Amino acid sequence: MNEEQFIRRDRMRFTKNTLSSTLAILAIVFDVFYFINIYKSDVGHNVGNFYYQIRIGASIIYNLVFMLAAFLSSEGVKNYKKEYCYILLVIGVIQIVRIFILPAQAAAAEITIGGTVYKVMERAQHIRVVLYLLVSAACCLAGGVIGIKRCNELSAHLASLQESKA
């Protein structure tokens, strides 16, 4: 390890992991974009039969849980706490899984109003919500991976400092 690398690692003793933390916050932002888009149907207010079921309750509750977990993780990873990096990875994977639940179902669903068949979610909206979820997931995963890498680097560095002290 050259001097440059050593100083970069040593800096971690006194600086926060703001990159991972910012990525976690960005994940929340894109999740918000997602949920303010998902319940807006292309066929106006006549989609009650599709959306206004138990799934919307579960979806809203999960959004709240996601935001709380992501926020707490952003604080945890900022202070190089590895367990919060794992939480970020888990919620990142769940964000990807979510693409195949509500957005996929809404994109595939059709509704008949006055004898005419409408799609609940047009292609453009579907792409948009999928993108939001993907970016949110990417932020979580990147934040988690970077966090774990930095946590490992820092603990190795602290151990080497301890060793050299002894």
Partner 1 sequence: MAQLSLQHIDKIYDNNVQAVFDFNLDVKDGEFIVLVGPSGCGKSTTLRMIAGLEDISNGKLILDGKDITSTPAKDRDMAMVFQNYALYGHMTIYENMAFSLTLRKENPNVIHKKVLAAAEILGLTEQLNKKPSQLSGGQRQRVAMGRSIVRNPKLFLFDEPLSNLDAKLRGATRREILLLHKRLGATMLYVTHDQTEALTLADRIVCMSMGHVQQVGTPLELYDSPANLFVASFIGLPPMNFFDVKVEKGFLVNSQLHTALSPEEKDLLKAYEGKQITLGVRPENIVEGGDVSIKVFSNENLGMNTLVHGHLGDSKSASDKITAKLRGWCNYKEGDIASVSFNRKHFFDKDTTNAIRKEGQP
163 binds partner 1, rule: CB under 8 A: no
10 binds partner 1, rule: CB under 8 A: yes
162 binds partner 1, rule: CB under 8 A: no
Measured from the CB atom, is 133 or 151 closer to partner 1? 151
8 binds partner 1, rule: CB under 8 A: yes
Measured from the CB atom, is 8 or 123 closer to partner 1? 8
116 binds partner 1, rule: CB under 8 A: no
4 binds partner 1, rule: CB under 8 A: yes
Quick check: 161 and 109 in contact, CB under 8 A? no
155 binds partner 1, rule: CB under 8 A: no
Shortest gap between Cβ of 19 and partner 1 (angstroms)? 13
Q: Which range binds partner 1 by CB under 8 A, 11-19, 22-30, 82-90, 128-136?
A: 11-19
11 binds partner 1, rule: CB under 8 A: yes
Measured from the CB atom, is 2 or 112 closer to partner 1? 2
Nearest to 125 by CA among 58, 32, 34: 34
Query: What is the three-state SS of the chain?
Result: CCHHHHHHHHHCCCCCCHHHHHHHHHHHHHHHHHHHHHCCCCCCCCCHHHHCCHHHHHHHHHHHHHHHHHHHHHHHHHCCCHHHHHHHHHHHHHHHHHHCCHHHHHHHCEEEECCEEEECCCHHHHHHHHHHHHHHHHHHHHHHHHHHHHHHHHHHHHHHHHHHHC
Please give the residue ranges that form the binding site for partner 1 (CB under 8 A): 4, 7-8, 10-11, 13-15
